[in-house]
Amino acid sequence: MAREESRRLAPYGRRRAGAQTAARTGQSVLRGARATAAVTVELARRVRRYAWPSAAGRRNSAYLRDRLVALPLLALVAFGTFGQAYADVRGDLAHVRDRLAPALVDLADARASLLIAQGEAEENLADGGAAELGGLGERYRVRVARATQSLNQVVRGEALTVAEEQEVRVVSALVVDYTAWLARAQGHATDPVLRDAELGYARSMLCSAPADADRDGGSGGPPACEPDERTTGSGATSIVDRLIGLEERVRDRLAERAAWGPGVLAAAVVSGGAFALLCAGLWRTGTFLRRRFRIRFSVPLAVAALPLLAVPLLTWDALRAQEAQAGAVPIADALVEDTSPDAETDAEERPFDRSGATAVADRASRVDGELAGGRLAFLDGVVPFVLPAGLATATLAGGALHAYRREYLVVVRPGAVS
């Protein structure tokens, strides 16, 4: 009977034990939260004491000691974080201007040139006898050479990863094989069966889903090539599909560089707060010296504040650089999505007509102008000197305050209020 009663009351015992455990856990969490809050308040109080002390009711030596600690630390934090953010923005602009944008232009130019070359080859091979004697045309040779040169420039530009450089080398090898098949088609120009077979194979190497004559409208112009997602990226096999995949990856990196990064934003916030406290601290310290020590103007503190005058100019330069990168993103999108062999052909045949301005050269000029206008040229070499300027400010401010405090402690009379 007692065993049955204990078995019946066991769940209630477990519930009570669980409730007690939960209560103890809650009390522990509450005590931990209170301790954390107390530590946070104490840290905030100490930070406020050093960053924003009050001279009222403070002894002169104590106030100078606090300023001796606070001002150099604020200078180092402000200039250190600002220098990091400014270097990141400037570095992103240089990387986009010197590497990513030229690589994107070269890839788009190579793709358009190969499609134009294919159109020229098909047009010349349509007249078998003329192609056998005169070749595939001057524009064909120029465009193939231009595509090869553009691919070589992409590899030398150091904008791609190791895997992407290998992909470009694969594309260059495919271009060589592609032109060899067109040369075979030229050699069999008078044999329609062999010519069409070799020309069709070359065209399949160029584009995974080339448009037929009906889709082209029978215009005889450059072939259309609009691959879907299944034929780009890792699944790409043809030349144009591989180039489009490379363009999209380079464009994505350009857009990522052009955006405000979390590290830059965090550094900007920290440096902005530190600069505000530093400027206010220097001003309040000067006021303290004027009221307590009758020092109307502190030359060392004024010299220490001189690097602060360059901060607005550098900030404006960083904002211009970021704005220029943001303006280059739509042009990069147009290079990837709107580049067409028809626009390139029109630009060649009507070089003085700039009404459309859709050719690769026009967009390259636009992106170069956008990025070139995003910086002040005379500030190109300033980045390495931002942190040393902060060190100079910290050294001058600390040295001046140390000298004032030491002089005060020497001349104060024994027993006087210090």
**Predicted pLDDT of residue 215:** 42
**Predicted pLDDT of residue 132:** 58
pLDDT tens digits, one per residue of 1-24: 555 555 554 555 555 655 666 666
Domain count, the chain: 1
The answer to whether position 341 is within a domain reads yes
- pTM for the whole structure: 0.77
Going by pLDDT thresholds of 50, 70 and 90, the confidence category of residue 406 is: confident
Q: Which residues contact 187 (CB under 8 A, 6 or more apart)?
A: 132
The answer to whether position 11 is within a domain reads no
**Predicted pLDDT of residue 225:** 65
**Predicted pLDDT of residue 110:** 93
pLDDT tens digits, one per residue of 179-219: 999 988 888 877 888 888 888 888 889 887 655 444 444 44
Is there a contact between 292 and 342 (Cβ–Cβ < 8 Å)?
A: no
**Predicted pLDDT of residue 287:** 86
**Predicted pLDDT of residue 418:** 44
Q: Given a cut of 80, is residue 26 above it in pLDDT?
A: no
Q: Given a cut of 70, is residue 31 above it in pLDDT?
A: yes
* pLDDT mean over 404-417: 59
H helices present in 295-385, as ranges: 299-305, 311-337, 341-349, 360-372
Q: Given a cut of 90, is residue 106 above it in pLDDT?
A: yes
* 191 phi/psi in degrees, rounded to 5: -110, 100
Q: What amino acid is encoded at 380 in this protein? A: D
Q: Given a cut of 70, is residue 43 above it in pLDDT?
A: no
Going by pLDDT thresholds of 50, 70 and 90, the confidence category of residue 317 is: very high
The answer to whether position 27 is within a domain reads no
Tell the burial category of 403 from Cβ atoms under 10 Å away from its Cβ (0-12, 13-18, 19+).
Answer: exposed
Least confident interval from 73-87, 153-167, 369-383: 369-383
pLDDT tens digits, one per residue of 112-129: 999 999 988 888 887 655
The answer to whether position 17 is within a domain reads no
The pLDDT mean for the chain works out to 80
Segments forming the whole domain that contains residue 77: 60-411
Between 205 and 33, the more confident residue is 205
pLDDT tens digits, one per residue of 381-394: 899 999 999 999 99
Least confident interval from 148-162, 203-217, 263-277: 203-217
**Predicted pLDDT of residue 309:** 94
Q: CA 232 → CA 229, 253, 340, 358, 407, distances in Å?
A: 5, 17, 17, 24, 75
* pLDDT mean over 277-300: 86
The answer to whether position 50 is within a domain reads no
Is there a contact between 222 and 118 (Cβ–Cβ < 8 Å)?
A: yes
The answer to whether position 150 is within a domain reads yes
Going by pLDDT thresholds of 50, 70 and 90, the confidence category of residue 177 is: very high
The answer to whether position 1 is within a domain reads no
The answer to whether position 190 is within a domain reads yes
**Predicted pLDDT of residue 292:** 78
Quote the percentage of the chain above a pLDDT of 90: 38
Least confident interval from 110-119, 135-144, 267-276: 135-144
Report CA Rg, the chain: 36
